[in-house]
Amino acid sequence: MASACSVKSAETAADSVDLVWSDGHHSQFHFIWLRDNCPCPNCLHPQTKERTFDVMTIAADQPDLNALDLQKEQLVISWKDGHVSEFRTDWLRLNCYSKSAREARREKPILWAATVKTALPEIEYEAVMKNDSGLLAWLDLLVDYGFVLVRNTPTVQGEVTRVANRIAYLRETNFGRDFDVISKPNPNNVAYTALKLESHSDLPNWELPPGTQFLHCLEFDAEGGESTLVDGFGAARQLEKEDPAAYEILAKLHIPFRFHDQDWDVQWSAPTIARDQLGDLQEIRFHAALTAPLDLDFDDVLPFYRAYRVFTEIIRRSDNILALKLQPGDLLVFNNRRALHGRAAFNPESGPRHLQGCYVDNDSVLSKRRTLRGKT
Ligand code: OGA
Ligand code: ZN
Ligand code: ZN
């Protein structure tokens, strides 16, 4: 653990300070990085903890270091211009940017397939609503698996928004603050029919599709209508392994999406698979019903369809599809930018099927999780 670890030696190199820790770990911090992160009250606002230091006030790329003093729990650096910076060693360890430290900080999603049904990530409504530890347990599952089933949520209108508000404010969209998924006359969206919905992510036609989606089952007495979930990150990893060229195409080409009705015409283009700078998966945008006519280079059209069909085949493999028939009181919460959701067709003549839904941003989920972790 970082805090239990002390610095054994501190030496200066050409443009960095090199630390060796008691557990053998090695860290290098550039002079400019250290100067820019000086925690003194002149450089970091003592209340807000926001940076007030302006990196442009130092002459060149490298501030000149005068002396280094390694004390028990801090590293004191005096700079040639007379400024002194005192760094706590546990803070340095926490912010070490060595390859292995950065690797250790990466989120490692738990990938799953249909077999997750035997050990569902689930939690009781009571636990989520009652205290911080229940709330944190829920968010940990959500971040790791990309979905959680919240059990025994009171079947009351609007309860879904109260649960979502445990995390943060709602993310409103063209479907409103919250929405009812029922078979309606004059639907503006296939979700509001009784038709089958293939696996999809919601609102890929928005610049930032909502992060966390809530679907609360209030009534379900109809035949059919089972919910489905697929781990989009798992499917993307399978694609990368089975057909790396297809994976690269879907990570590269921008696909247009569009939703339009009487009041809205929301359009955005983005790749099907988004990765961060380290190659970790960030997002899957996948919704055949909202895919607009492709607007690609002529030479990219056939490679796109080929890649898209390979990916779709993986997403539709029964091994990858978790099928669940929601019961009234079940609240399915999932990362809409990772898990793909769908449902089987249902027979609206056979009985009611009523889900209520809403969204919050993933930033809110991660923020809440960090603040709770700080408290507990
Ligand atoms: C939706 C949706 C699934 C369902 O409303 O976005 O996909 O089970 N609904 O009806
Ligand atoms: Zn300072
Ligand atoms: Zn949907």
pLDDT given for residue 1 in this prediction: 45
Phi, psi of 277 (to 5 degrees): -65, -20
Instruction: List the chain domain ranges.
Output: 2-105, 114-375
Inter-residue contact 315 to 340 (CB < 8 Å): yes
Token pair of 361 as six digits:
């941003």
Q: Is the CB of 227 under 6 A from ligand 1?
A: yes
Structure confidence at residue 190 (pLDDT): 87
Instruction: Give one word for 246, left, alpha or beta, with left for phi > 0 and alpha for psi -120 to 50.
Output: alpha
In angstroms, the first-to-last Cα distance of the chain is 17
278-310 per-position pLDDT tens digit = 899 999 999 999 999 999 999 999 999 999 999
Sign of CA dihedral 326, 330, 335, 336: positive
Tell me the pLDDT tens digit for each residue of 46-63: 999 999 999 999 876 678
**pTM given for the model:** 0.95
In the reported structure, the alpha carbon of residue 355 is separated from the centroid of ligand 1 by a whole-number distance in angstroms of 8
Atom of ligand 1 nearest to the CA of 353: 10
The pLDDT tens digits for 243-260 are 999 999 999 999 999 999
For ligand 1, whether the C-beta of 181 sits within 6 Å is yes
Q: Which atom of ligand 1 is nearest to the CA of 357?
A: 5
* Euclidean distance between CA atoms 76 and 71, whole angstroms: 7
- Taking a C-beta distance cutoff of 8 angstroms, is the pair 244, 356 a contact? no
Instruction: Please report the beta strands in 130-201, taking only residues with DSSP state E, as ranges in sequence order.
Output: 147-151, 179-181, 197-200
> Which one of the ligands is nearest to 63 CA?
2
Q: Which CATH number fits domain 114-375: 3.40.50.720, 3.40.640.10, 3.30.930.10, 3.60.130.10?
A: 3.60.130.10
78 within 8 A of 67, measured Cβ to Cβ: yes
| CA proximity to 65, closest of 49, 46, 84, 78 | 78
Q: For domain 2-105, give its CATH number from 3.40.50.720, 1.10.1660.10, 3.30.2020.30, 3.60.15.10.
A: 3.30.2020.30
